[in-house]
Structure 1
Amino acid sequence: MGLSRPRLLELLSDAIRRPFTLLCAPAGFGKSSLLSTWAAEAVEQPIAAWLVLDEEDNDPARFFEYVRGALRSAGIEIGGPAARTHPGAASPSAKDRMAVLLDDLADLTQPVMLVLDDYHLVRNAELDTALAFLVEHAPENLRLVMATRETPRFPLARWRTKEWMSEIGADQLRFTQEEASAYLSRSMGLTIEPQSLRALAARTEGWIAGLQMAGLSLQRHIEVQGSAQLAQVVSAFNGEHSHVIDYLAGEVMRLQSRELSEFVRKVCVLDRFCAGLCDAVTGRSDSSALLAAVERGNLFLQRLDDQGRWFRFHQLFADFLRNGVDEAEAFELHRKASAWFEAHDRGPEAIKHALAARSDADAVRLFRQQVEELLARGELPTLLAWLEMLPTTLVRQHQDLAGYKAWLLFMSGRTTEAMEYHGVATALAALPDAPEPPEILFSLQAFIAINSDQPELAIELSQQALSRLGNTTSFFRLWPLFYSGLGLLRTGSTREAAEVLRQALDLGWSFGHRLTALDALGHLIPLMSGQGQLREAKLLCEEFLAQCSPSDEAHAPISGLLLIPMGMLAYERNELREAVELLEAGTGLCKRLGSVFHALAGTCALAKAFHASGMRDRAWNAIAAARELADRSRNPRRRRAVLVASADLHLRDNNVEAGRLALEELGPALEVAVEAQLLQVRVLLSSGATLPAMRMLGGIEAACRDQGQQGTLISVHLLQALGHRANGGRAATLEHLDKAISLAAAGGYVRPFLDADAELATLLRHASLGRSAFVEELLGAVRHPAQSPAASQETAPMQLTRTQLEVLVLIGKGLGNQQIAEQLVITVGTAKWHVSQIFEKLGVRNRSQAIAKARELSVL
């Protein structure tokens, strides 16, 4: 292999302290290489007697002759014949021969390791019995080490219980990404950029032989075409490459029985499988036994559950097997799989196999059965992928399919294609003999109105849809309700918008429509923040987070809709490290979800958090990424969000002219967007136009009071204070500053003060509330800005947030999630989420490991 792997050498050194060490993994996982490297490099290694086996070694006499020869070659003094017999006596059994051998080795004075390589080629039950006898009766200084592709027929369960054996399997032998990089570089002279390396490591799944074959393909490509387009070669590498085919055909499949080979060839069309599914696809009734044989033979089979019910093949092995299935047979196998999954209420898998079988009618029927449930769970990319697998002509023949595709394309930012399918759906609905329009079209029309700057029309269309749908629990009853809330928000009716969005949130969650609920939450939280309800908004987020388990929904793409508003709230509290973490995680998840709007909103908020943390380059990179998202979607609403964020960053950089130009691009939208209006005020104040700025602030203040926007009033009063200061009105300056402090203290707002003006510290010291604890907190924040998320690990080991450091300390004290929640005054769900984040950042799996790691980092 040409690469030393210290972690495995240490593992093997620990393993051979027991009587039996088993290295069991499929072909090409480096078992023999590990043993030979260990023999050459290990410190204080025992004497190694090495025997590489082949098919002819099934004869006991031959086997023991070679074992004795291996021992002698290693310098072990041993008697002559394998067993002492009398003339005419029957040939001794393998167990008898082993008993004699153990007698000869009884007086060993130094450690000896008997290595049997390729034991899968031995298929003699007598030899199995003899070697089991060795393990159970071996002298203190003798160890048996076995490398094999198949699980040996030994009493392993009993040996594990008695701690007589150590095991090293495929999971331990897999190359890590770092080892893969080192191997390709040192052994094959290949340097691959990180993204391609990650893709290749994922594709080969740590299979060493697979990585080597991929390296050979890359070397050949470089020889013929140079180093250009290596990424494309990496992405195309699969089990159909000639090196993979030759290896698997020669080293693996030739050793299998015809029955087993035919079984795995048919099963390979399945991404995952169980015995019942295999029976249905192959027409057999003994798949359970065959799967056990495949697993025992280490035929690149991986368990997907602890019970051993569900399995999958290694990707490259599956690719290789599929190469031997012709198209007609593959269609039939997929059709049977689809029928099985449908019969077992597994709709998504049934659709997938129906599409693979080109059973379009079945696929459409199953799609219609599943679409609302998958929409509710937020599986937008999956639904769009299914529709794109159907023939385009078929989708264009059905109102509902065209409508679904239009809406999903809109959500993913593909506006031009979306408008085309919207036109198809609308035209079909207008035909004389057209059936009643499907519910998706009502939601789609309201969606388009919102994103075409027609909020009044969106409200009207939403009300029409709600009247038609009545009190059903349909997914499409909730979307018009949600779009009605957005329409009210766009027209400035923030009180009413908050009520409607709260209704959509509550109904969506109670109906199980989490996408609608969390989308509504994502718009409601900034509204609540603007209303002065920062603490209430935080508690609301934690309430919903508590209902998401860290092992499922909390790490699913849909949870990004929750993490982004939580990050925005953390920013307002000046908890910048936590804000960046939440916003980065949430934005990445929303991209996977296919929700461009929320990904863009998260990216813009992230730019503010980066800038406030002193990371200007990352802030502007985030704005560039947001602009790319907006431009690609060709959506004016999204483009405006980026312009507002750009103007804000320019003003933070004291580039007033650039900020003014960005705001000018907003056009009439400037008049209805409060955030944009406040930025315009900042431009005017910075330009010395104090009177126009104060007039604008008067109008904004009146609107905020009318709509109960107490949170927004904080920024209004701060800007009014700055305006009066510019005019020399000290009393009015301090009056507005006191009003801002009173409103902010009630909700815990910090950032409005830090974002308002660099000289604010001077004003704060003269405020009439200057001795309050909140003002002291503000002054402390001004004097000691929140630490950048890029700070050294000395102050924040492994990039843990302040809350996570507190949680880690409580874990070290032995507190459970409920107790942690009570100590920190957070919900149990939030505690669980922080614990899962701590495990991930520390690279541990449980609390004990987390405590050990924390002590290593001097946190505990």
Structure 2
Amino acid sequence: MDPDTSDNLNTEDVINTPRLTPAARLLPEQLLATKFLIPASSHPYLARPRLTALLHAGLQRNAILISATAGFGKTALLSSWIQTLGPDDPQVTWISLDTCDNVPAQFWTYVLAALDHCWPGISALPLTFLYEAPQPAWQSMLTMLINSLAQRNERVVLVLDNYDKITEPTIHALISFLIEHLPPALCVILSTRTDPPFSLARLRARAQIEEIRTEQLRFTREETEAFLRQVINVHLSEQDMQEVQTRTQGWCAGLQLAAFALQGRANPGDLLQELHGSQHAILEYLLHEVLQHQSSKIQMFLLYTSILEHLCPAICNAVLEQQDSQSILEELEHANLFVSPLDKEHQRYAYHPLFAEALQYRLEQIAPEKMSTLHLRASHWYATQHAENEAIQHAIFARAWPQATALIERIPSQQLWSWQTIPFWIEHLPSEVVRARPRLCLAYAQALFWGEPPDITKDWLHAARTAWAALRVREGNATGNRQAQETEAPTRLLGEIAALQAVIAGFYDGDAGAAWAYSEDALTLLVEQQQTAHIQVTFARSLATLSLGNFEHAIQTLQTGIAQVEAKGDTALANICLTRASWDMTITGKLHHAWQFAERTIRSAQTANGHLPAMVCWTYARQADLLREWNRVEEAQRLAEQAIQLGEQAELNIFLPLGYTILLKLALSRRALEDAATAHQLLENAWSRMPVPYCYTLYSAVDQVRFWLTCNDLERARSWSRELEQKALLVSPLARERQEIALARIALAESQPDEALARLAPLVARAKAEGRWAHVLEMWLLQALAYQIHQQWQEALVTLTLAVNLAAPEGYIRRFVDEGVPMADLLTRLRAQEQQRELTPYLDALLAAFDNAHGTQTKQQENEEHSEAIPPLLDLLSAREYEVLQLIARGAPNQEIAQTLMISVDTVRHHVSNILSKLGVTNRTQAAIRARALGLLSSAS
């Protein structure tokens, strides 16, 4: 262990406690009141004005960092300083942190409650964010808190003691954000053994932080002398005093323990000569010296109760199986033996953390077999007090797996799967213990659904089924012994397992057959009261029909699920179903209906105060994509970034690829290739963390191919195509359709319009029959471009007219504009053909968008300047670039061009880049089309 004598409340550094959910939130009366108490010193504290002056100066900054290793008196300094504050100084509110507070919802519940002590009512609105499933909207919560603080005039200091106990990255990121944006009303003090993992350099540069570190906390020679004489009442010779200073190096913990060991010694020099080694070695030696002067009863009490975070007579009596703990605690307090009262009534105490850790270390050395027994006794006592968190902790410390699992499973089944700390508990149980408990396996699978690859979730669901079957066999063999007891493996539990398997099959695999089979299995096993599982089945069925491409049926099924969740009042499930319905509407081409569903999702998810949970990131992403399609690119960019920020904070790993795909599409729409490359890298990294071929194909495959083609990386696109041929076919017809569209784009880039048309024709027919009009629109545009390459203008314009008629009512813009200059040429021809007919205003809007996006000229303008336009282009292209252009038009990759012209591939890339720039296009396909339109290509090309 890494001891710390300076800090107050400590807890065993083994596990985190459960995250909180709406069904299990920490209400004010359930918060541990002692965590808010400013620790009282067990002896008079030595005034250290040089340090209190630094603390007073730090009040003018956003934060004060007190960072030093164990035992340098951080907590004691703060406690003493607070006692010196007068009525005109800021109020102080205190939290003693421990490892249990690594759950973000629990951490912020305590922070808000602490601030509420000084500013009553300030926590009411932010608290609504803390219990959203599966994750709160942290950024919104902090923004609201900061805005509320900005309206306060009276000043408050928030002390976060033992901040080194916090290891959760989300908490560190949020504290950093809070400190950087604090208004003058609040100053945060972090007391910690180690520096927090956020940018102190930035805070220093902005003069937002005051720092007090180890060297400043060390007792000077004069302070050491004053401490020993005035506080501990130990009088040493000048030589011995110097020896204490030399040995302890101003280390507060060493001074305290040395003082206890020195009391009553005739010759202090003998002990001082034996002190050597590291701080930990000195601590162990001094602890031994202190213990050996105590009675055997006090030694046993100290060692056995060191496992407890807080001491009270009842828990101590339970752990030691005795009845006189009250008198012993009073004796320890009177002797100043590293125990401090936590309340005015002196009914609750805590050991100095470093002292407690050293006692635990000693207990493990001399009586390791007692540790499990003591923790188990503590677990039983906490269970009788309905303190589930502490009871489960001590059961795990005791390695009492039956006790720990029984306590976890005491949580009602409908709540168990949504407890956010299930992973923290389960990861500290042996795998074989968890895999023997179907409820725990199911709960773990539910908890991992959004953040881990589906194979992991499937493995735990398989384990749940296996455990269920094994329990049923054992229960069958012991029927007479169970009688009135509830079965541990009811059939309804198997129904919940099947319901989640159905969702996974539909959501992650696109396997309609498996999703339907699991759904039917679930419905035969579930009872009416298992509403959440019934809604999961409905959702799985809609996913199954969607994977087949039948969006109308999928939407109808989702409508049933939406009615169910709204009746149940489950906003999290409503968010999921409504967001899915918005996406389905987008694929059917009904963009305005899709937007309405998204708005309905937000209204459904909003709290009474108008705030939203992190899961709204899905909705924001859908809205961003709709805004992008309507050419409201800046708005879309802001909303997409907000969605991604929420998804990253909530660690919704399956959402992030969707968010990064939309970022990629936006960058391509803005022709910002550096941003596109960044988004593409993020996208690839996200899919590497969540390798889900079905979801990748639906969300990202086509746009990834578009990126490669825009970057003239035709070889990478071809490589993807070859890799696709080596893989097993996806079971979903919808996913295979997306793959075919991507392949058609590659064919066009290779100037192989016939192949593109051959791929697209059957796809268009099926998509029209099944109502996937957004896909139909995309495919019609690709067909028009294929006809354009062939210079089959009539076919191109007829197909384009179909696309325009389909797109006009919904206001599609980017679907046309993102196809680039060749599409602008086609639309200009169609505009000239239409003249003053019905489509003219929409065509004018499209062409205006092209002008803004590409800075291109209309075909009419080009025709008027045709005789002047071509010669400059011919002059601009060098002879070598003209040769490269001819080969590009034939679909030759860079390697083939290099071999044909006997130049390096890098030189080819340089020429291609120049050609694209001079022609005003972004990819090879556009270059070929543009060159043909300008008459730059030979007939052979």
The bucket for the TM-score relative to the shorter chain is: 0.5 to 0.7
Displacement of 1:376:
7.5
Q: Name the SS for the 1:574 alignment partner.
A: coil
Contact 1:400–1:425 (Cα < 8 Å) also in 2: yes
Q: Name the SS for the 2:538 alignment partner.
A: helix
Match of 1:780 in 2: 848
Q: Name the SS for the 1:597 alignment partner.
A: coil
Letter in 1 for 2:444: K
Match of 1:462 in 2: 519
Which of these residues, 613, 616, 635, is aligned with residue 578 of structure 1?
Answer: 635
The 10-residue stretch of structure 1 (463-472 or 481-490) with the greater mean CA deviation from structure 2: 463-472
For structure 2, the 5+ residue unaligned runs are 1-37, 61-76, 95-117, 119-152, 164-171, 181-193, 220-246, 260-300, 327-338, 343-348, 364-370, 475-488, 856-941
Match of 2:787 in 1: 724
Contact 2:538–2:557 (Cα < 8 Å) also in 1: yes
Letter in 2 for 1:737: L
Q: Does 1:433 align with 2:473?
A: yes
1: CA distance, partners of 2:217 / 2:502: 51
Displacement of 1:719:
2.0
Q: Does 1:739 align with 2:802?
A: yes
Letter in 2 for 1:209: I
Q: Does 1:492 align with 2:533?
A: no
Contact 2:93–2:158 (Cα < 8 Å) also in 1: no
For structure 1, the 5+ residue unaligned runs are 1-23, 43-116, 136-143, 151-156, 158-164, 182-190, 217-241, 255-261, 287-298, 303-312, 788-860
User: After the TM superposition, which residues 247-286 of structure 1 pair with which residues of structure 2 at under 5 Å, given as runs?
Assistant: none
Match of 1:569 in 2: 626
Which of these residues, 636, 661, 665, is aligned with residue 723 of structure 2?
Answer: 665
Match of 1:558 in 2: 615
Letter in 1 for 2:723: E
Which of these residues, 383, 392, 405, is aligned with residue 364 of structure 1?
Answer: 405
Q: Does 1:685 align with 2:748?
A: yes
Q: Does 1:750 align with 2:813?
A: yes
Residues 552 and 659 of structure 1, relative CA distance in 2, 3 Å threshold: farther
Q: Does 1:392 align with 2:431?
A: yes
Letter in 2 for 1:443: A
Residues 633 and 716 of structure 1, relative CA distance in 2, 3 Å threshold: closer
Which of these residues, 442, 455, 459, is aligned with residue 498 of structure 2?
Answer: 442
1:93-152 CA-to-partner distances (Å, cap 9, x unmatched) read xxxxxxxxxxxxxxxxxxxxxxxx9996999xxxx9xx99xx9xxxxxxxx8899999xx
Match of 1:481 in 2: 538
Q: Does 1:540 align with 2:597?
A: yes
Q: Name the SS for the 1:665 alignment partner.
A: helix
Letter in 2 for 1:433: V
Q: Does 1:611 align with 2:611?
A: no
After superposition, the CA RMSD in angstroms is 6.1
2: CA distance, partners of 1:461 / 1:122: 62
Contact 2:539–2:561 (Cα < 8 Å) also in 1: yes
Residues 33 and 778 of structure 1, relative CA distance in 2, 3 Å threshold: farther
Displacement of 1:368:
3.8
Q: Name the SS for the 1:546 alignment partner.
A: helix
1:376-423 CA-to-partner distances (Å, cap 9, x unmatched) read 86x65x332232233323212122323443454464325565454444
The 10-residue stretch of structure 1 (388-397 or 516-525) with the greater mean CA deviation from structure 2: 516-525
Contact 2:452–2:690 (Cα < 8 Å) also in 1: yes
Q: Name the SS for the 2:473 alignment partner.
A: coil
Which of these residues, 552, 558, 577, is aligned with residue 520 of structure 1?
Answer: 577
Match of 2:212 in 1: 209
Q: Name the SS for the 1:756 alignment partner.
A: coil
1: CA distance, partners of 2:511 / 2:733: 15
The 10-residue stretch of structure 1 (626-635 or 489-498) with the greater mean CA deviation from structure 2: 626-635
User: After the TM superposition, which residues 600-679 of structure 1 pair with which residues of structure 2 at under 5 Å, given as runs?
Assistant: 600-638=657-695, 640=697, 643-667=701-725, 668-669=729-730, 672-673=734-735, 674-679=737-742
Which of these residues, 547, 560, 565, is aligned with residue 508 of structure 1?
Answer: 565
Normalising by structure 1, report the TM-score. Answer: 0.54
Q: Name the SS for the 1:688 alignment partner.
A: coil
Letter in 2 for 1:461: Y
The 10-residue stretch of structure 1 (321-330 or 470-479) with the greater mean CA deviation from structure 2: 321-330
Higher relative contact order, chain-length normalized (CA < 8 Å, sep 6+): 2
1:654-697 CA-to-partner distances (Å, cap 9, x unmatched) read 43342233244334349642333222222222323223323433
Contact 2:39–2:79 (Cα < 8 Å) also in 1: no
Residues 453 and 537 of structure 1, relative CA distance in 2, 3 Å threshold: closer
2: CA distance, partners of 1:628 / 1:762: 37
Contact 1:267–1:281 (Cα < 8 Å) also in 2: no
Letter in 2 for 1:704: A
1:184-210 CA-to-partner distances (Å, cap 9, x unmatched) read xxxxxxx99975659999xxx978436
Contact 2:435–2:463 (Cα < 8 Å) also in 1: yes
Question: Alignment identity in percent?
Answer: 19
2: CA distance, partners of 1:29 / 1:482: 66
Q: Name the SS for the 2:561 alignment partner.
A: helix
Which of these residues, 762, 766, 770, is aligned with residue 703 of structure 1?
Answer: 766
2: CA distance, partners of 1:148 / 1:403: 44
2: CA distance, partners of 1:713 / 1:354: 60
Letter in 2 for 1:782: F
Contact 1:28–1:209 (Cα < 8 Å) also in 2: no
Match of 1:98 in 2: none
Residues 568 and 449 of structure 1, relative CA distance in 2, 3 Å threshold: same
Match of 2:230 in 1: none
Q: Name the SS for the 2:803 alignment partner.
A: helix
1: CA distance, partners of 2:801 / 2:515: 40
The 10-residue stretch of structure 1 (773-782 or 711-720) with the greater mean CA deviation from structure 2: 773-782
Displacement of 1:360:
4.7
Residues 370 and 625 of structure 1, relative CA distance in 2, 3 Å threshold: farther
Letter in 2 for 1:469: L
1:318-360 CA-to-partner distances (Å, cap 9, x unmatched) read 8998777786777766765565556xxxx77876676567665
Letter in 2 for 1:779: L
Contact 1:583–1:605 (Cα < 8 Å) also in 2: yes
Normalising by structure 2, report the TM-score. Answer: 0.50
Residues 38 and 646 of structure 1, relative CA distance in 2, 3 Å threshold: same
Letter in 1 for 2:473: D
Contact 2:92–2:156 (Cα < 8 Å) also in 1: no
Displacement of 1:531:
0.8
Contact 2:218–2:252 (Cα < 8 Å) also in 1: no
Match of 1:232 in 2: none
Match of 2:6 in 1: none
1: CA distance, partners of 2:751 / 2:681: 30
Contact 1:482–1:516 (Cα < 8 Å) also in 2: no
Residues 206 and 644 of structure 1, relative CA distance in 2, 3 Å threshold: same
Aligned pair count reads 590
1:489-546 CA-to-partner distances (Å, cap 9, x unmatched) read 2222222222223333332343244444333344332221011221222222222212
1:51-74 CA-to-partner distances (Å, cap 9, x unmatched) read xxxxxxxxxxxxxxxxxxxxxxxx
Letter in 1 for 2:847: L
2: CA distance, partners of 1:243 / 1:553: 57
Letter in 2 for 1:611: L
Q: Name the SS for the 1:209 alignment partner.
A: strand
Letter in 2 for 1:364: T
2: CA distance, partners of 1:215 / 1:747: 71
Match of 1:405 in 2: 444
Residues 300 and 207 of structure 1, relative CA distance in 2, 3 Å threshold: farther
